[in-house]
Chains A and B, each alone.
Chain A
Amino acid sequence: MTATPFNLLLLTSVLWPLFLVLMLTFKKFHTQLLYLIPWTALPALVVIAVAPNTVTQVELPWLLLGGTYALDTTGKTFMLLAALLWSVSGVYARSYFNQTQKQVRFYRYFLLAMAGNFILILAQDPLSFYFGFALMSFSSYGLVVFKKSAIAVRAGVVYIALVLLGEVMLFAALLMATQTAESTMFSVIRESVIQSPNHNVIIFLTLIGFGIKVGILGLHVWLPLAYSAAPAPASAVLSGTMINAGILGWLRFLPLGETALPDWGTGIIILGLAAAFYGVGIGLTQRDPKTILAYSSISQMGVITILLGLGILAPQMWPLILPGIAFYALHHGLSKGALFLGADLCGSKQHRDRRRIWLGLWLPALALSGAPLTSGVIAKHLAKSYALHSPAPWETLLPLLLSISAVATALLMARLLYLLRPSAKPYGSIPTYGLVWPWIVLLLIIVLTPILVGYSFEYALNNQLFASLWPLLLSLIISIAVYKVRIFHIIKPISAGDLLVVFESTLKILQNGVKQLNSFGKNYTTIQHQTKARMNVIQTAFLTKIGQIESTLVRWEFAMLFMLIIIVIVGFFALEKIYE
């Protein structure tokens, strides 16, 4: 490794949160540390500010199984988003919790997850990425169950089960990819994965493994549960930056821009489309703002998934699409972070406070809906321009579908703003100074984002105004119509975690079905009782059976018998040989 000042700074930005976690072990430093910790992500911001244009790799051959770290172009966007959100949420959390003990407990998991997030962004080899990913995923468990309510515990179980599933799938994918590539560098793996006879398996495992984090349809069930269960600053980073770890994983691992894989491409686009609409569809029925935001994330990640599918379908377009995906992730992350924090600020009973916060919330909501002059319109415009150049039949279908999805997103945002309207019941925390100012900073960043990326407003006003306005106007009309018809009073909200609930209730229905069959013509309650007892008996019998097998196996007579059998068999062979 060349110890240039920049490289040292790069390493410091990653080690800093880990160092602070270590320092938290010492109780006597807690007071001082709590002043420092909210700002832990600042070195990472400095890193991005001073990053040279040429990418230099930091080789750490002694670390794990040899690590390579660098801040490349894609990484820079993700790092920027991560550094911003971890900073804002870090400051927010300081005022969110009023007891030192809670702050310390929260920051412990928070800092570990932050370090994992930074490591995976900088990682240029799959093992380092996997390490960062694991560190982040397992530490965030502490954030998900932080409130210790029954809801949080249930969310935690679903979360950790899916994390583990993702971990082992990625483990298998990594092994196969590494074995084919005979290298542990992303650049080599991306090129050579396709030569593996197992490349379909590898792609599938990668897609699902990271898809769990992204919340692709079917594996999204943890998102609504975890986001609404976690404390607001944790939800902000979970939905804003940690979700992007899955996207970044796809970008790093999948053979994008190499070979066209039409089947995979089409499949992924369809998957993305499904998530984009499904997320909004379920989200609209929800009444909890944080759950709505979670479903909005599922839908927005669906849009990114569509772009990814385009890249697999048409590799020649990939160099164009890649920065688009990165920008989309940045835009979504900032807006979603601001929405989560803003939604949490609606706890005041005073109408004036509520109205101010509510007006502030319009900004990220509009940005997410792709309103003119926001980052959203850039992101939507980029997505649509790729769609227009995509291979048939997508070039006609996709732009339209993307516009409809924009309408859908706007509807969802309208629903959110309606639920958080100043006259509604207070929700979340009382907006104190320490909570509000980091949020305002985040809002300012969202305002400035289009300017910072050099977006031409003049051009926008002349050419895209109508294109970006009509989905908004349409959704406004629909929203007003819906409000007048009072349709939401009729709709019953689908339980957060939709499919999970379907899964759970299928189990229940099956159980009930068995009961029904049994209770044919008999008194139901006694049958219910009997069934329950019978289930218990079966369960106990099963456990006893296992116990019995083991207790047979661990009897010494059994072991002796086993060894004697070995001797007899062996002796038999020996005798046979002798008398042959």
Chain B
Amino acid sequence: MNWDTLIPFFVIMSSFLPALMIFALAEERRGLRITLNLIGVFVTLALVVFMFIGVYQGHHYETRLSLLPDLDMVLRAGPLALLFAALSSVLWLLTTVYAIGYLEGSPHRSRFFGFFSLCITATIGVSFSGNLITFLIFYEMLTLVAYPLIVHRGTEEARLAGQTYLLYTIFGGTLLLLGTVWLYTLTGTLEFTPRGFIDDVGEEHYFALVSIFILLIAGFGVKAALVPLHGWLPRAMIAPAPVSALLHAVAVVKAGAFGIVRVIYEVFGVEKAALLGLTQPLAVLAAITIIYGSVMALFQDDLKRRLAYSTVSQVSYIILGVAIVGPIATIGGVVHLVHQGVMKITLFFCAGNLAETLGIHKISEMNGVGRRMPLTMTAFTIGALGMIGIPPIAGFVSKWYLGLGALEADQEWVILILIGSSLLNAGYFLPILYRAWFLPTPDKWPDEHDLGPNETSLMLLIPPLITALLALGFGLLAASPYSPLEWVKLISRREFY
């Protein structure tokens, strides 16, 4: 018995067990629920940090359970897995704190936090999955456990949004399953392998491989909100703010993008995929999504809706990065998993603060809000400027690597997409900043609540401040050791090229 073979399993359990216990708790056991939650969070974090250091020194952590004959359930902590797991667990901690503050006094909190923890279990599972079938299991689990969170409010609109979400994702899951089974019949293995495992598949299966690729990408594309499969995302913004924050930053949307990264690098192998002529169309699709999402965001007055369309656009940066074949673009794409995560979660936290504190849901209600909630709006400003790609915020680093990688791969057109996207992002974020900072404050806010002596309750205020600092730090210190950028460079060296 070796500890190294158990740790990945423990990480999964460290959020799964608290989830089960929380379900069993009575609604009013607030203290115990918070304690359980936090224990789960910190154990997960500690284990992830432990493995981080281990992997850096060359350790291998792998749990293997027999699922079917010749088909194991594999949990493996590679560098890429850890990147995603670290992002999930850090943001989970912040979102938990935020959610506790946000849902103070509202009903069904045991249900909420239970599913919230399950959501993280699934996300961590997705990140540590060592083969496609394990990935699929956790991915589908994520689909299901996110549903109660989206419909948490129980209103008609929420239920409709949940229904749409399920329709999309279940269909997407079907495509995935089809693709996976088909792939298995060809290769006899589903083990994620650096540089892919389809080398042995003969030339005569060209069409099969292309079909599998399309099935898998379309399947993951649903959650990653690739146009035209993005329809569920803007509706799902009906969910409570902490859910939207987690949904857009790590859990659901990112799981889709992460799946695409896995498929391209560790199922097909990026060079093989390029040889099959699959990456170029994907890059074009990602580019279309980037521009389309931004254009749609321009027309939204609902703040969360605008942010949702912005996610549609920004997540495709990741896909664009991996679809431009080349190590530098890959770095830009994969690091955007983290960068977009911290920036977008900041924006959603802030949107939640505005809604909870002042009852602001619409951009047209945001006049002068910078004076009423300066810290929240400072965090928002950092997130928004980062999205536009202004240095030194993290978004700039992603954009820089994407651009450099595109030039390296002789795909100059990508620069135009990046420029267009930056301008569009400016087009829908700068007016918000202008309203918030430069327009006069109205006499009365739509629905103001007194949440303590600060601009809002500290539980709501501190998480966005931390994530905004992270967004700033990840950019400002991008070249320093242990930054997401440096870690992604290590991944790229070890696993992709």
B-binding residues in A (CB < 8 A): 25, 61-66, 127, 130-131, 134-135, 138, 142, 145, 148, 160, 164, 167-168, 171-172, 175-176, 178-179, 543, 546-547, 550, 553-556, 558-560, 562-563, 566-567, 569-570, 573-574, 576-577
Complex CA–CA separation, A555 to B235 (angstroms): 11
A131 touches B208 (CB 8 A): no
A546 touches B477 (CB 8 A): no
Q: Cβ of B397: which chain A residues have Cβ within 8 Å of it?
A: 64-65
A574 touches B391 (CB 8 A): no
Q: Cβ of B415: which chain A residues have Cβ within 8 Å of it?
A: 172, 175
Closest Cβ of chain A to B43, distance in Å, is 31
List 15 extra interface pairs beyond A567-B178, A577-B207, CB under 8 A: A61-B479, A62-B477, A63-B477, A142-B438, A164-B422, A168-B422, A171-B403, A171-B418, A178-B404, A179-B408, A558-B231, A559-B168, A559-B228, A563-B229, A566-B218
B426 within 8 A of A: yes
Closest Cβ of chain A to B203, distance in Å, is 12
Closest Cβ of chain A to B405, distance in Å, is 10
Complex CA–CA separation, A109 to B385 (angstroms): 16
B231 touches A65 (CB 8 A): no
Complex CA–CA separation, A555 to B228 (angstroms): 10
Complex CA–CA separation, A135 to B437 (angstroms): 17
Complex CA–CA separation, A505 to B158 (angstroms): 49
B296 touches A550 (CB 8 A): yes
B232 within 8 A of A: yes
Q: Cβ of A134: which chain B residues have Cβ within 8 Å of it?
A: 390-391
B6 within 8 A of A: no
B400 within 8 A of A: yes
B175 within 8 A of A: yes
Complex CA–CA separation, A556 to B210 (angstroms): 25
Complex CA–CA separation, A134 to B477 (angstroms): 17
A–B Cβ pairs within 8 angstroms, 14 of them: A142-B437, A167-B422, A175-B400, A175-B407, A553-B230, A554-B232, A554-B235, A556-B232, A558-B228, A559-B167, A559-B168, A559-B171, A563-B218, A569-B211
B423 within 8 A of A: yes
Q: Cβ of B182: which chain A residues have Cβ within 8 Å of it?
A: 574
Closest Cβ of chain A to B150, distance in Å, is 14
B164 within 8 A of A: yes
Closest Cβ of chain B to A463, distance in Å, is 49
**A178-B404, A556-B231, A559-B228 known; A164+B214 contact, CB < 8 A:** no
Interface of A is mostly: helix
Closest Cβ of chain A to B20, distance in Å, is 32
B462 within 8 A of A: no
Cβ contact of A63, chosen from B174, B408, B430, B479, cutoff 8 A: B479
Chain B, 318-346, CB within 8 A of any chain A CB:
none
Chain B, 204-256, CB within 8 A of any chain A CB:
205, 207-208, 210-211, 214-215, 218, 222, 227-232, 234-235
B211 touches A574 (CB 8 A): yes
Complex CA–CA separation, A408 to B210 (angstroms): 70
A553 touches B438 (CB 8 A): no
Complex CA–CA separation, A482 to B403 (angstroms): 56
Complex CA–CA separation, A436 to B68 (angstroms): 86
Complex CA–CA separation, A567 to B407 (angstroms): 35
B430 touches A176 (CB 8 A): no
B422 touches A171 (CB 8 A): yes
B184 within 8 A of A: no
A-B interface pairs (CB < 8 A), number: 134
Q: Cβ of B392: which chain A residues have Cβ within 8 Å of it?
A: 64, 131
Closest Cβ of chain B to A144, distance in Å, is 10
B222 touches A559 (CB 8 A): yes
The interface bits of chain B over 414-452 (1 if a CB of A lies within 8 angstroms of the residue's CB, else 0) are: 010011001100100010000001100000000000000
Chain B residue nearest to A67 (CB atoms) is B479
Q: Cβ of A546: which chain B residues have Cβ within 8 Å of it?
A: 295-296, 299
Q: Cβ of A63: which chain B residues have Cβ within 8 Å of it?
A: 476-477, 479-480
B214 touches A167 (CB 8 A): no
B479 touches A65 (CB 8 A): yes
**A63-B479, A131-B392, A573-B207 known; A168+B235 contact, CB < 8 A:** no
Q: Cβ of B205: which chain A residues have Cβ within 8 Å of it?
A: 577
Chain A residue nearest to B211 (CB atoms) is A570
Q: Cβ of B164: which chain A residues have Cβ within 8 Å of it?
A: 556
Closest Cβ of chain A to B302, distance in Å, is 14
Q: Cβ of A148: which chain B residues have Cβ within 8 Å of it?
A: 438
Cβ contact of B207, chosen from A64, A547, A554, A576, cutoff 8 A: A576
Q: Cβ of B484: which chain A residues have Cβ within 8 Å of it?
A: none
Cβ contact of B228, chosen from A66, A164, A562, cutoff 8 A: A562
Most B CB atoms within 10 A — which of A543, A553, A559, A577? Answer: A559
A164 touches B403 (CB 8 A): no
The interface bits of chain B over 440-478 (1 if a CB of A lies within 8 angstroms of the residue's CB, else 0) are: 000000000000000000000000000000000001111
A-B pairs with lowest CB-CB distance, top 10: A554-B231, A62-B480, A570-B211, A131-B391, A175-B403, A168-B419, A179-B407, A573-B207, A66-B479, A556-B167
Q: Cβ of A576: which chain B residues have Cβ within 8 Å of it?
A: 207
Closest Cβ of chain A to B450, distance in Å, is 19
Q: Cβ of A135: which chain B residues have Cβ within 8 Å of it?
A: 391
B172 within 8 A of A: yes
**A164-B423, A179-B407 known; A574+B222 contact, CB < 8 A:** no
Complex CA–CA separation, A559 to B169 (angstroms): 10
Chain B residue nearest to A558 (CB atoms) is B228
Most A CB atoms within 10 A — which of B182, B228, B374, B426? Answer: B228
Chain A residue nearest to B419 (CB atoms) is A168
Chain A residue nearest to B407 (CB atoms) is A179
**A64-B391, A556-B231, A559-B229 known; A168+B168 contact, CB < 8 A:** no
**A134-B391, A148-B438, A554-B234 known; A567+B175 contact, CB < 8 A:** yes
Complex CA–CA separation, A344 to B388 (angstroms): 37
Closest Cβ of chain A to B442, distance in Å, is 15
B299 touches A543 (CB 8 A): yes
B477 touches A554 (CB 8 A): no
Cβ contact of B227, chosen from A65, A145, A172, A553, cutoff 8 A: A553
A573 touches B211 (CB 8 A): yes
A168 touches B423 (CB 8 A): yes
Q: Cβ of A178: which chain B residues have Cβ within 8 Å of it?
A: 404
Complex CA–CA separation, A131 to B430 (angstroms): 18
Chain B, 350-393, CB within 8 A of any chain A CB:
374-375, 385, 389-392
Chain A residue nearest to B227 (CB atoms) is A553
Complex CA–CA separation, A145 to B437 (angstroms): 11
A556 touches B168 (CB 8 A): yes
Cβ contact of A547, chosen from B167, B218, B299, cutoff 8 A: B299
Q: Cβ of B171: which chain A residues have Cβ within 8 Å of it?
A: 559-560, 563
A64 touches B172 (CB 8 A): no
Chain A residue nearest to B416 (CB atoms) is A172
Cβ contact of A65, chosen from B208, B222, B375, B400, cutoff 8 A: B400
Cβ contact of A553, chosen from B218, B228, B390, cutoff 8 A: B228
B391 touches A127 (CB 8 A): yes
Complex CA–CA separation, A298 to B117 (angstroms): 61
**A179-B404, A543-B299, A563-B172 known; A64+B227 contact, CB < 8 A:** no
Chain A residue nearest to B231 (CB atoms) is A554
A562 touches B479 (CB 8 A): no
Cβ contact of A138, chosen from B295, B385, B400, B419, cutoff 8 A: B385
A562 touches B207 (CB 8 A): no
Closest Cβ of chain B to A126, distance in Å, is 11
Closest Cβ of chain B to A231, distance in Å, is 14
**A134-B391, A168-B419 known; A574+B208 contact, CB < 8 A:** yes
Closest Cβ of chain A to B403, distance in Å, is 4
Closest Cβ of chain B to A399, distance in Å, is 42
Closest Cβ of chain B to A374, distance in Å, is 39
Complex CA–CA separation, A270 to B29 (angstroms): 78
Chain B residue nearest to A131 (CB atoms) is B391
Q: Cβ of A550: which chain B residues have Cβ within 8 Å of it?
A: 296
Closest Cβ of chain B to A20, distance in Å, is 16
Complex CA–CA separation, A543 to B298 (angstroms): 11
Closest Cβ of chain A to B466, distance in Å, is 16
Chain B residue nearest to A137 (CB atoms) is B390
